[in-house]
Every structure is written in structure tokens, then in C-alpha cells.
Amino acid sequence: MVAITEAVSLEKQGEIGMLWIDNPPVNALGHPVRKGMADGIEMAEKDDEIRAIVVICKGRTFCAGADIREFGKPPKEPHLPDVLNRFDQCKKPIISAIHGTAFGGGLETALSSHFRVAVPTAQFGLPEVKLGLLPGAGGTQRLPRLIGPQKALPLVATGNPINAEKALEEGLVDEIINGDLADGAVDFAKRVLAEKRPLVRVRDMNDRIDQARNKPEIFDDYRKQLAKRARGFEAPEACVKAVEAAVEKPFEDGLAVERALFEKLMSGSQSAAQRYYFFAERQVAKIPDIPKDTPLIDIKKVGVIGAGTMGGGITMNFVNAGIPVTLVEAKQEFLDRGLGVIRKNYDISASRGKMTAEEVDSRMGLITGTTSMEDLADADLVIEAVYENMNLKKEIFAKLDNICKDGAILATNTSYLDVNEIAAQTKRPEYVLGLHFFSPANVMRLLEIVRAEKTSIPVLATSIAIAKKIKKIAVVVRVCHGFAGNRMFAQRKREAEKLIMEGALPSQVDKVIYDFGFPMGPFALADLIGIDLGWDKDNSNSRTMQEVLCEQGRFGQKNGRGFYNYEEGSRAPKPAPEIDELIIEFSKKKGYIRREISDEEILQRCIYPIINEGAKILEEKIAVRPSDLDVIWVNGYGWPVYRGGPMFYADLVGLDKILEVLKKFQAEHGDDFRPAALLEQLVKEGRNFSSLN
């Protein structure tokens, strides 16, 4: 074995040269790997004893792509496209032997090899688009040549991977190796030599490209398919353009188009935001005072109290991960209804082909419904998901403390109540915390883990681990009213409501927020959630817009009338001129002198207070770092990932500008806009939020 660089070595197995890449954790194609690959191929080509080369990786995966940490820094030679062109030109067969994930530059490496073999569990993908980029080392030109543009388009433009079986079916890999990968690859290489197979250079494969030429409908149709999910993103369209170039242009010219598009995206703010976000999501589980080797509590059985929408969704998360749940309701009738909704949700998934009827049955089989809390005696984790009433929650926790075994974790799903007060009802406050799921809990990826004053480190570490198991992104926050997400969200809600009193209309506010990149604006969202949520019918007296709307029976989507009108069976908001009139009349009655409000003011009024509240939350140490708040907003509130999150966006706008605008609003509208001390301090020191990550 000869070490070529610290990350690449060459081992001779008879006439086969094994080029081993070893760059943990994911064999990213950083400089030592690129240089090692280039020099290794050179060395193997010159070595007369070597007749074929196997490119193979140590550790958990084949190369998972370029080293994202190098992006934005001065590039160091050799560049990946040049290394891969060298692969192409090698006179000896190169076989990529793939396990784990051949992603991004990793898949591009495989595409530049002459053959590809893989283990059955391997995955293949070009996730660059998720980083606001496109494959920049020939992937957009080679993949369509190998599998055809129609099959290449979704891989390039959505970034979603395919498994080994599909890759074999589509001709992306030549053979699946069932035993040891290295042995299988050597055996494959020997067969290539024995059969004198010609080298397959993907760059020269033109059949599939020729078949797609002069068929613009391939791209038009795909663009239509992509339109909704790609709204606001720049990279997906660039991906389609690059594949189009593969069809229309010779290989080298196509590569030049790919490079130009790649560089444009790389220097733009969307990719900077998405790359930042990639690391933000991975940072979130790292809590400074939770050591990596903290002992975890084994969670084999879960209890959920409350079979409503929240409790039902929470239950589904656990049974989806194979963990049995005891679901408790106060009355049999509510329990039956809750179980019925869960089954219906699974049946819908089954009817869409996402699971089989047997899987539906086996998941339902993991749920035990009961009306007796005593049945939670052997649960390792209990999550209370009843409605927001402090006295009721206190009562439940006092009971649970008596019923549950020692060492069981007791969690509340409250979205704003004081978890310390709830924990104080038990003799085990160190085992109590908040697990704040977002609705619909079986769909939304965000979970706020609310760390109460006495929550122990193993309980927190276990909660983080279990969140990963049920495929949630967990952000640890501390106790305050509304925790991090809802506390920030309340700012936008308040300003949106004020803006329609001052002169804007719901459709104008919603359009600004939608165009910013949110899936919908605050009023369409209010219609979706239900305007009657929290409405006190008995004391309603037309004091607020909520009261006015509810008194008129306008509850939102649920009854087809809210800030907008809805046609039977449709969720698409239709203008409601009668509501605009009502708002105008109501605001005048309240003494407002309505004025023209610019889109810029709407955006700043709705977004800057979110950022300011985020700064206060950081100041109070409710959240660990600014990027955690960004993860909360992207996953829980529909913040467009191509803008990174509110705190990243603030850095982009400039904290000095945010501060200046907040001060102006404070002078005009009062202390809702009082700038956070942290914001003032950062501006004074010429720093940004990223410096706190």
C-alpha cells in the first residue's frame, strides 16, 4: 500500500490497483482527496503491473460530494472537473465501487469512471440543488448521456436520491455486489480485462442525447412539474438549463454552460443561505453542556395522553418508528374518534401507494387505546397532549408522577405554558421537559425540546436521540412564554393585524409575505388554522377583528368563510370584498386614519420584529445559537430556506440597517419595536449574528 496523500492510497492486488479514499466522516472530495485521486490515477496508469483500477472508499460511505466547507474559499488545484476529465482519459479501465451514498461530486466521480459496481444498500444522488447549486463537475452532462435526460432531470433538479435497484434498472450501475464490495469489485475488474471490454466513456455516449434532441416538450413538461415546489428557488431552473445544454451542445460546450451556471449560483445569496442552512441543521443537536457520551435512557414504550389532532399525530410518529404507544383519552368515544382519524390517515397513505394494507395494520397494532392512565405504569416516556390549560396539565402530571415507573420521562406538548410550573407538580422534576410538536405532528419536522430548570442532561440527550429516531429536527430551547418559535411568530401576527387597521388589506399583506417565499401569508394562514381558535364566544363583543369575524360565523377554511372565501372542497383563497369593507369600517370606528402602505413597509414590519425578538431570545439564553432559530423557522414556520432563516437574513440585510429601521418604527409606533440590547451591541461592535454561531 502506497500513501499518495493523507487521504488516498494505492494498493496492488495483482493486476488490479485499488485506489483507497479515506477521508472521514463522509469521504468529501477536499483537496487531499482530489490530489490523491489525480496522482493515484497517474501512478496506476504508469505502473505496468496494474491493468485496471478500482476506486473505493473506507468508512461508512463512498464520496458524499465536494467538501462544502471549502466553498466560498479560494479554490485549490487540482479542481474536481479536471480530475474527473483525467479519469475519463485514463487508458486503463476505472471501476468505481460504491457503498453508502455516492452523492454530488461522489456520483460525478463514478460517472467519470468507465464502470460502476455497488452494494445493494448504496444510494445515488446529486443533492447540489439542495445547496442552491447544480452538479459542477460534469454531472449535468454525463448523467443525461448515461441514463437519458428524462431520467436525469429529476435526479439533478430535485436532488432526491435513488437506490441501487433503481440505479441498476436505469443503467447507472453495471452490477450489484452482494458479498464483500472490494472482493466483488476486483472480481468485476478481472472480468472486464478477461472479456477485453472496451472502456465506456460516458462523455462519448450520445444515443440517448440524440433521441431527445429537438424535443423541447421534454423540458417544458418538466418545468411545469417543477414549478410549484421550486417557486422562488434559482437553482432548479439552472439545473434544467444545464441538462438542456447536454442535449443541445457537444460535451465540452455543455460543460462550459454547466460551469458558468455553477459559478453564478455559487456567488449568489441563495446558495450561501442553503449551504449555511446545511450546517445549521447539523449543528442543532450539539448542545455545549451535553457530553457526547451521555448515557441514554432506553425508550421501548411510549404513552401519549390526548387522542386529538396533536396526540394522534404524535402517536403516529412513534409507531412509524416501530415504537409501541399507549394512547390515553378521558372517554371511550374520544378515543375511538382519535384512533379512527389515525387509521384514516394511514389508509390515505396506503391509497397513495406509500404503504401496504399490512403495514397499516401493523402500525395500528402498535397502538393500545385506553381510558385509564394507570396503563402508563410501564411507559418509558409519556407525552401529555391535552388542551392548553395549566390546571388540567398540573393535575395530569401529579397523577403521572404516582403512576409512572421510576426513571420514566414525563413530557408536555404545551406550546407556551411554563414547563417549570408543570414539573414542580412531580417529585421528579429532573425527568420533566417540554416536547413541543408542530401541527400536523406526523408531518412537520420541527420539534422544540423545552429544557426546564431542573431537566437532567441524560433526559435531554435521550430526547434529542429519540427525536432523531422519529425523524424530527429537534431544537433545544429554554422556558419562556411561547418558547422560541411561537414567541417570534407572535411578532409577525401582531404587526399583520395592525397593518390591516392602518391601511393595508389582507390580500396585500399576504402577497408580500408569499412573494418573500413563505407558503402563504398571515391571513391565509389564519384561515387555515381557524380564526375561532382562542375565541371566547360568551364574552365576544366586536372588540377585535377576530371577534367581528367569528360573530359573523367566519371561522376560516373549516366553514368556507374567513378572511377569504373558499369554494366547496377547495383550499384556494378567493377574494372576499365584503371582508375588506368590514376591515375598513372597523378600523375607522377604532379611530385609525387609513393610509397607503408600501410593500416594503409591510415586509419590514412583519419580518424585522421577528429578528428583533430572536435577538432578545438569544440575549436571554432561551436558544443556544442564532442558527437554531433559523432551523426553527425553516422547519416550523415555512421560512424559505433560500433565505437561510431570519437571523441569517438579518446578516444579509445588515444589522445596522435593521436597527435603524426598528428605531424609526419605534418612534412611529411605540415599544413593540424596541431594539434588543444584543442587536445594539452587535451593531456597535461591527459584528453579525453568524459570529455567535
Give the active site residues.
108, 128
Instruction: Tell me how far, at minimum, the Cβ of 125 lies from ligand 3HC, in Å.
Output: 8
Q: Please choose, out of 62-70, 176-184, 191-199, 226-234, the segment that lies near ligand 3HC by the rule CB under 6 A.
A: 62-70
Query: What does the per-residue mask of binding to ligand 3HC show for 181-200, with x meaning CB under 6 A?
Result: --------------------
User: Is 69 one of the binding residues for ligand 3HC (CB under 6 A)?
Assistant: yes
Tell which one of 137, 242, 328, 525 touches ligand 3HC (CB under 6 A): 137
The whole-angstrom distance between residue 76's C-alpha and the CA centroid of its chain comes to 31
User: Is 609 one of the binding residues for ligand 3HC (CB under 6 A)?
Assistant: no
Tell which one of 93, 132, 136, 369 touches ligand 3HC (CB under 6 A): 136
Instruction: Tell me how far, at minimum, the Cβ of 518 lies from ligand 3HC, in Å.
Output: 25
Instruction: Tell me how far, at minimum, the Cβ of 20 lies from ligand 3HC, in Å.
Output: 19
User: Is 258 one of the binding residues for ligand 3HC (CB under 6 A)?
Assistant: no
Place of cell 493486476: 15
Residue 165 CB coordination number (10 Å): 12
SS3 assignment, position 212: helix
Element (H, E) at 475: strand 473-478
The whole-angstrom distance between residue 32's C-alpha and the CA centroid of its chain comes to 30
User: Is 254 one of the binding residues for ligand 3HC (CB under 6 A)?
Assistant: no
The separation between the first and the last C-alpha atoms of the chain, rounded to the nearest angstrom, is 41
DSSP state of 72: T
62/633 with CB nearer ligand 3HC: 62
- Strand partners for 475: 448
User: Is 144 one of the binding residues for ligand 3HC (CB under 6 A)?
Assistant: no
Using CB under 6 A as the binding rule, the residues of this chain from 208 to 227 that contact ligand 3HC are none
Q: Please choose, out of 61-69, 216-224, 440-448, 530-538, the segment that lies near ligand 3HC by the rule CB under 6 A.
A: 61-69
DSSP state of 672: G
69/354 with CB nearer ligand 3HC: 69
Instruction: Tell me how far, at minimum, the Cβ of 278 lies from ligand 3HC, in Å.
Output: 7
109/326 with CB nearer ligand 3HC: 109
Q: Which residues contact 491 (CB under 8 A, 6 or more apart)?
A: 609, 610, 612, 613, 672
Instruction: Tell me how far, at minimum, the Cβ of 34 lies from ligand 3HC, in Å.
Output: 10
* C-alpha closest to that of 18 among 583, 49, 28: 49
Write the CA distances from 659 to 61, 313, 489, 654, integer angstroms: 46, 40, 19, 9
Strand boundaries in 241-324, DSSP class E: 302-305
Instruction: Tell me how far, at minimum, the Cβ of 113 lies from ligand 3HC, in Å.
Output: 16
Instruction: Tell me how far, at minimum, the Cβ of 519 lies from ligand 3HC, in Å.
Output: 24
Number of residues near ligand 3HC (by CB under 6 A): 25
User: Is 282 one of the binding residues for ligand 3HC (CB under 6 A)?
Assistant: yes
Pairing of strands 325-328, 302-305: parallel
Query: What does the per-residue mask of binding to ligand 3HC show for 19-48, with x meaning CB under 6 A?
Result: ------xx-x--------------------
Using CB under 6 A as the binding rule, the residues of this chain from 72 to 131 that contact ligand 3HC are 80, 101, 103-105, 108, 127-128, 131
- Strand partners for 52: 16
Instruction: Tell me how far, at minimum, the Cβ of 126 lies from ligand 3HC, in Å.
Output: 7
- Strand partners for 124: 102, 162
* C-alpha closest to that of 231 among 637, 457, 515: 515
How far apart, in whole angstroms, are the C-alpha atoms of residue 368 and residue 401?
21
User: Is 64 one of the binding residues for ligand 3HC (CB under 6 A)?
Assistant: yes
* C-alpha closest to that of 297 among 87, 431, 462: 462
User: Is 314 one of the binding residues for ligand 3HC (CB under 6 A)?
Assistant: no
Using CA atoms in the order 461, 465, 468, 470, what is the torsion angle rounded to 10 degrees?
-120
Helix pair 506-516, 599-619: axis angle to 10 deg: 60
Tell which one of 38, 66, 579, 682 touches ligand 3HC (CB under 6 A): 66
67/174 with CB nearer ligand 3HC: 67
Place of cell 408542530: 438
Tell which one of 67, 174, 613, 630 touches ligand 3HC (CB under 6 A): 67
User: Is 65 one of the binding residues for ligand 3HC (CB under 6 A)?
Assistant: yes
Write the CA distances from 401 to 240, 325, 516, integer angstroms: 58, 19, 47
User: Is 637 one of the binding residues for ligand 3HC (CB under 6 A)?
Assistant: no
Buried residues in 367-377 as b, exposed as e (16+ CB within 10 A): bebeeebebbe
Angle, alpha carbons 559-564-568 (nearest 5°):
45
User: Is 135 one of the binding residues for ligand 3HC (CB under 6 A)?
Assistant: yes
Instruction: Tell me how far, at minimum, the Cβ of 63 lies from ligand 3HC, in Å.
Output: 8
Instruction: Tell me how far, at minimum, the Cβ of 246 lies from ligand 3HC, in Å.
Output: 15
SS3 assignment, position 80: helix
70/375 with CB nearer ligand 3HC: 70
* C-alpha closest to that of 500 among 562, 575, 584: 584
| Chain residues in the site for ligand 3HC (CB under 6 A) | 25-26, 28, 61, 64-69, 80, 101, 103-105, 108, 127-128, 131, 135-137, 139, 279, 282
